[in-house]
Amino acid sequence: MAFINEYITEADYERYDLRKIIGEKNPFQPGYLFARDWTVDRDKEVFLVKIWTHREAEFDGWAFYWKGEWMFFEMRIHGIGKNAIGEIDWIGYLAKGFSLPTSLAPVRPDVIYAFEQSLTVYAGAGVFSTCSPCAAKIEYMADKG
């Protein structure tokens, strides 16, 4: 199975303890569960989920889950490209603070590839996207805080 955009089921909220984990990572509304949908590859047990957003923040909060390992970071869209007939065909992302746990060092290329594939399928809006697929162009910046 490949990545798909879908609403998170009650069973998945419980399986991954999403209410607790995501609620703890929301700096603007602690305990608030922002996530209702995700981009998931169930066969590989990998998913991307937006965990918070705030009108005064430059970035949104995200989590990427890889087979039991969580990575929390901030990200925003910072570019959109269109093809000759005006359809969106790529979306640029700026990811801040995205880093892999040391336990994932041996599979780093696989994790990065899966992250990029999840963003390609996410296509700027997940279940609400009208652009599918959209190539993802990711720029990584170090977290300075």
In the prediction, which pLDDT does 81 show? Answer: 87
Q: How confident is the model at residue 7 (pLDDT cuts 50, 70, 90)?
A: very high
In 10 A of CB 83, how many CB atoms? Answer: 9
Q: How confident is the model at residue 134 (pLDDT cuts 50, 70, 90)?
A: confident
| Element of type H or E holding 76 | strand 69-82
In the prediction, which pLDDT does 34 show? Answer: 79
Place of tokens 């602690």: 30
* C-alpha 116 chain-centroid distance: 9
Q: How far apart are CA 48 and CA 40, in angstroms?
A: 6
Q: How far apart are CA 6 and CA 144, in angstroms?
A: 33
In the prediction, which pLDDT does 115 show? Answer: 97
Q: How confident is the model at residue 62 (pLDDT cuts 50, 70, 90)?
A: very high
Mean pLDDT of the chain: 90
Q: How confident is the model at residue 75 (pLDDT cuts 50, 70, 90)?
A: very high
- The answer on pLDDT for 38 being more than 90 is yes
Backbone angles phi, psi at 6, to 5 degrees: -155, 165
Share of the chain above pLDDT 70, in %: 96
Two structure tokens written together for 52: 């918070």
Collapsing DSSP states into helix, strand and coil, what is residue 93?
Answer: strand
Query: Any idea how long the chain is?
Result: 145
- The answer on pLDDT for 145 being more than 60 is no
- The answer on pLDDT for 144 being more than 70 is no
pLDDT digits (tens, 9 = 90+) for 83-102: 888 888 899 999 999 999 99
